[in-house]
Chain A
């Protein structure tokens, strides 16, 4: 590439902007960790960017884990995220495969329906969803959240996976059918393993969205035993007006951020390709 900035002053300014923005992202993560090690006294006596005093209050983490029941919320979030991601993947992959490979009456319309649903604001469905789940006795249950989250990720999954299945060569299936495999066998033994990269991309994007979801969680769950992490963060922050526990609040944020950060660090490329595929609706 022959391009590039030659003027050293301009180059310096650009670097400065990039570094400042980078700090604006990394520093809050660092301060979340540092502030989780402080007590209230330190928050009020010192500047916000002051380092925590010795001894470091690691007990804030265990305090949040035990007294605020973060062990429960963490487990709830994991069960719900894994459950809805797997179910969502199965439902999206099966439909996407048929839509990509078989023509039948209404197949085009069905595909359009799924895609068009991405344009409809989900908040419109919120009130009816509450009453629907209520009548099905699924309020305050993990199953209830899993069902709603699964449905909310279907359209995106179908959209990406239809594209993916279309890109796989048809000869593979023909050969498999020739060898006497059934339609089901061909899908589960041949096509599904081949589409693994696409499946992983969809799964990661869904995991991030579901783990971070707040609105549906807060409406369908009001029993503290069933809270997910974001719902509990929302509740904790509202309680801060009456009982200030800044250290534990930051410890709580830390527990919520770390899992998605790990997923991001491991699967960066997959996430980027998911975005580029998903945004071009």
Chain B
């Protein structure tokens, strides 16, 4: 009897600590995700009762929609641009602030992270001011070197505007990945570098032969993380800076989902775009993991 009651008490304790969280999580995370998959198979305006099951027709329609293809292209443009831009700059800063004995390394590190604590909405507004054709920084700066005042509408070109979204995205992302790589570099025993120094290896050589192999895991995590956050979250910066325009030229999957669902009330179609984002990010994760596979060097 005694043992049974103790067991009962233990189970009660476990249940009371597990169940509330789980119920909460089911209602506000699992259920909506599952329901999103379900909605993607309906033709549904969201308002009326008319919710027709149309199977995979949303997906067929989606692949015939040139804006969807453009969105996918833009998403991957941002993924590749951000991976290259962020990884090169963040790695450079991480190495500079750990290996090169710079004075005030801690100060720079703290400063560089600041964009990561600011809301993407605020970042979008700040960069809109930089790009503003009449009163923006960029035109005013370029005007210093020309006879006539420069009045380029930086966010107004259908073919190139997506390029203008890359600098804010990279600028805002550096700090996070720099901190991650700094932690990795600090885990490398100093003796490796000391030995390399004694043998006369250059900084450049040390970087490629010691640093990169030993932080490769964290670089891989960073690249995958950039890919995921870009495919899932580019929507905010796009929506604030261009609303997907001009003429849908900067539309990404997330912003197109928002526009289709919450502006044009094609909720089924919007949900289908959501499924597309999920599928593409899973596929890309697998592909990237393959591409980035590399002999992992373990610290002994």
Interface residues of A (CB under 8 A from B): 1-5, 11, 14-15, 17-18, 21-22, 24-26, 28-29, 32, 35, 43-44, 47-49, 91-92, 94-95, 97-99, 102, 104, 110, 114, 117, 119-132, 147-148, 150-152, 154, 158, 182-184, 187, 208, 211-215, 219, 229-230, 233-234, 237, 246, 249, 253, 256-257, 260-261, 263-264, 268, 271-272, 275-276, 279-281
A99 to chain B: closest CB distance in Å? 8
B15 to chain A: closest CB distance in Å? 9
Majority secondary structure, B binding face: helix
Does B136 lie within 8 Å of A48, measured CB to CB?
yes
Enumerate chain B residues within 8 angstroms of A110, measured Cβ to Cβ: 18, 22
Does A48 lie within 8 Å of B140, measured CB to CB?
yes
17 A-B pairs with CB atoms under 8 Å apart are A14-B96, A21-B112, A25-B111, A26-B111, A48-B137, A94-B20, A94-B21, A120-B278, A121-B232, A124-B274, A124-B278, A127-B257, A215-B236, A233-B122, A237-B240, A260-B118, A261-B114
- The contact string, 1 if C-beta is below 8 Å from chain A, for chain B 209-223, is 000000000100110
Task: Verify if B17 is at the interface (C-beta below 8 Å from A).
Answer: yes
Task: Verify if B292 is at the interface (C-beta below 8 Å from A).
Answer: no
Does A152 lie within 8 Å of B228, measured CB to CB?
no
Does B25 lie within 8 Å of A97, measured CB to CB?
no
Interface residues of B (CB under 8 A from A): 9-11, 13-14, 16-18, 20-22, 24-25, 27-33, 35-37, 39, 46, 89, 92-93, 96-97, 99-102, 108, 110-115, 117-122, 124-126, 128-129, 134-137, 140, 171, 174, 176, 179-180, 183, 190, 193-194, 197, 203, 206, 218, 221-222, 225, 228, 231-233, 235-236, 239-240, 254, 257-258, 261-262, 267, 270-271, 274-275, 277-278, 281-282, 285
Cα distance, A32 to B171, chains bound together (Å) = 17
Does A3 lie within 8 Å of B193, measured CB to CB?
yes
A187 to chain B: closest CB distance in Å? 8
Does A22 lie within 8 Å of B111, measured CB to CB?
yes
Enumerate chain A residues within 8 angstroms of B10, measured Cβ to Cβ: 102, 183
Does A123 lie within 8 Å of B277, measured CB to CB?
yes
B150 to chain A: closest CB distance in Å? 12
Enumerate chain A residues within 8 angstroms of B33, measured Cβ to Cβ: 117, 120, 124-125, 128
Cα distance, A268 to B218, chains bound together (Å) = 21
Does B221 lie within 8 Å of A114, measured CB to CB?
no
Does B278 lie within 8 Å of A114, measured CB to CB?
no
Does A1 lie within 8 Å of B236, measured CB to CB?
no
Does B134 lie within 8 Å of A44, measured CB to CB?
yes
B204 to chain A: closest CB distance in Å? 11
Does B190 lie within 8 Å of A1, measured CB to CB?
yes
Enumerate chain A residues within 8 angstroms of B18, measured Cβ to Cβ: 94-95, 98-99, 110
Given contacts A18-B102, A124-B271, A253-B125, 12 further A-B contacts (CB under 8 A): A29-B114, A119-B228, A123-B233, A125-B32, A127-B261, A151-B28, A154-B24, A187-B17, A215-B236, A256-B119, A256-B122, A275-B179
Most interface-central of B32, B111, B275 (chain A CB within 10 A): B32
Cα distance, A128 to B29, chains bound together (Å) = 10
Does B101 lie within 8 Å of A91, measured CB to CB?
no
Cα distance, A106 to B128, chains bound together (Å) = 50
In order of increasing CB-CB distance, the 3 nearest A-B pairs are A212-B119, A151-B28, A125-B32
**Assuming the A-B contacts A3-B99, A102-B14, A212-B120, are A25 and B115 also in contact, with contact meaning beta carbons closer than 8 angstroms in the complex?**
yes
B24: which of A17, A25, A151 is its contact (CB, 8 Å)? A151
Enumerate chain A residues within 8 angstroms of B118, measured Cβ to Cβ: 212, 257, 260-261
Cα distance, A249 to B206, chains bound together (Å) = 48
Does B20 lie within 8 Å of A104, measured CB to CB?
no
Does B236 lie within 8 Å of A214, measured CB to CB?
yes
Enumerate chain A residues within 8 angstroms of B121, measured Cβ to Cβ: 212, 214, 230, 233-234, 237, 256
Does B122 lie within 8 Å of A253, measured CB to CB?
yes
Enumerate chain A residues within 8 angstroms of B140, measured Cβ to Cβ: 47-49
Cα distance, A24 to B33, chains bound together (Å) = 39
B202 to chain A: closest CB distance in Å? 11
A262 to chain B: closest CB distance in Å? 10
Cα distance, A43 to B240, chains bound together (Å) = 21
Does A275 lie within 8 Å of B176, measured CB to CB?
yes
Does A95 lie within 8 Å of B31, measured CB to CB?
no
Cα distance, A240 to B112, chains bound together (Å) = 30
Cα distance, A82 to B258, chains bound together (Å) = 28
A279: which of B31, B119, B221 is its contact (CB, 8 Å)? B221
Does B36 lie within 8 Å of A43, measured CB to CB?
no
